[in-house]
Amino acid sequence: MAAPRLCDCDSPTLRLLQLTNCRLVRGHQLVRDDLWVRDGKIINPEPIFFDEQTRAHRRIDCQGAIIAPGYIDLQINGGYGVDFSHDKDTIEEGVTKVAKGLVRCGVTSFCPTLVTSPNASYHSILPRIPKRVPEGAGILGIHAEGPFINPQKKGAHPENCIQTIDKGLETLETTYGSLERLKIITLAPEKVSDPEVIGQLVAKGITVSLGHSAATLSDGERAVQQGATMITHLFNAMLPFHHRDPGLVGLLSSDAVPQGRTVYFGIISDGVHTHPAALRIAYRTHPDGLVLVTDAISALGLQDGIHHIGQLPLEVRRGKAFIAGTETLCGSIAPMDECVRIFQKATNCSIVYAIEAATLHPARCINIEHQKGTLDFDSDADFILLDDQLRVLSTWIAGSCVYQCVK
d(CA 136, CA 140): 12
Supply the pLDDT for residue 11: 47
User: Do 103 and 198 share a domain, yes or no?
Assistant: yes
Supply the pLDDT for residue 321: 80
User: Do 138 and 244 share a domain, yes or no?
Assistant: yes
Apex 290 CA angle, 284 and 293, nearest 5:
135
Residue 1, in any domain of the structure: no
Supply the pLDDT for residue 12: 41
Supply the pLDDT for residue 69: 98
d(CA 36, CA 244): 53
User: Do 165 and 30 share a domain, yes or no?
Assistant: no
Residue 221, in any domain of the structure: yes
Count of CB atoms situated within 10 Å of the CB of 282: 22
Q: Is the bond preceding residue 147 a cis peptide, omega within 30 degrees?
A: yes
CATH, residue 64: 2.30.40.10
CATH, residue 252: 3.20.20.140
Does the annotation place 68 within a ligand binding site?
A: no
Q: How many domains does the chain contain in total?
A: 2
Which amino acid, 87? D
Supply the pLDDT for residue 305: 84
Which among 35, 43, 39 has a CA at the least distance from the CA of 14?
A: 39
Beta bridge partners of 11: none
User: Do 64 and 113 share a domain, yes or no?
Assistant: no
Residue 370, in any domain of the structure: no
Beta bridge partners of 66: 23, 386
User: Do 270 and 357 share a domain, yes or no?
Assistant: yes
User: Do 324 and 390 share a domain, yes or no?
Assistant: no
d(CA 285, CA 39): 40
Residue 210, in any domain of the structure: yes
What range defines the domain where residue 231 resides?
Answer: 71-365
Does the annotation place 329 within a ligand binding site?
A: yes
Which amino acid, 27? G
Does the annotation place 244 within a ligand binding site?
A: yes
d(CA 264, CA 247): 15
Does the annotation place 282 within a ligand binding site?
A: no
Residue 376, in any domain of the structure: no
Residue 218, in any domain of the structure: yes
Dihedral of alpha carbons 41, 45, 50, 54, sign: positive
Supply the pLDDT for residue 9: 46
User: Do 19 and 30 share a domain, yes or no?
Assistant: yes
d(CA 330, CA 297): 8
Does the annotation place 363 within a ligand binding site?
A: no
Does the annotation place 237 within a ligand binding site?
A: yes
Which amino acid, 341? R
Does the annotation place 135 within a ligand binding site?
A: no
Which among 99, 109, 105, 182 has a CA at the least distance from the CA of 362?
A: 109
CA 63 to chain centre: 29
User: Do 93 and 236 share a domain, yes or no?
Assistant: yes
d(CA 322, CA 155): 10
**pLDDT-flagged residues of the chain (< 50):** 8-13
Which of the residues 270, 295, 380, 382 is marked catalytic?
295
Q: Would residue 295 show up in a list of annotated catalytic residues for this protein?
A: yes
d(CA 153, CA 212): 5
User: Do 61 and 75 share a domain, yes or no?
Assistant: no
Supply the pLDDT for residue 367: 98
Does the annotation place 150 within a ligand binding site?
A: no
In a 13 Å sphere around the CA of 88, the CA atoms on its Cβ side amount to 17
Supply the pLDDT for residue 49: 73
Give 314-319's long-range contacts (Cβ < 8 A, gap of 24+): 314/156, 319/272
d(CA 141, CA 139): 6
Q: Would you say 203 and 226 are in contact if contact means Cβ atoms under 8 Å apart?
A: no
Q: Give φ, ψ of 265 to 5 degrees.
A: -145, 130
Residue 373, in any domain of the structure: no
Supply the pLDDT for residue 303: 76
User: Do 395 and 343 share a domain, yes or no?
Assistant: no
Does the annotation place 21 within a ligand binding site?
A: no
User: Do 204 and 319 share a domain, yes or no?
Assistant: yes
User: Do 105 and 93 share a domain, yes or no?
Assistant: yes
d(CA 63, CA 19): 10
Residue 269, in any domain of the structure: yes
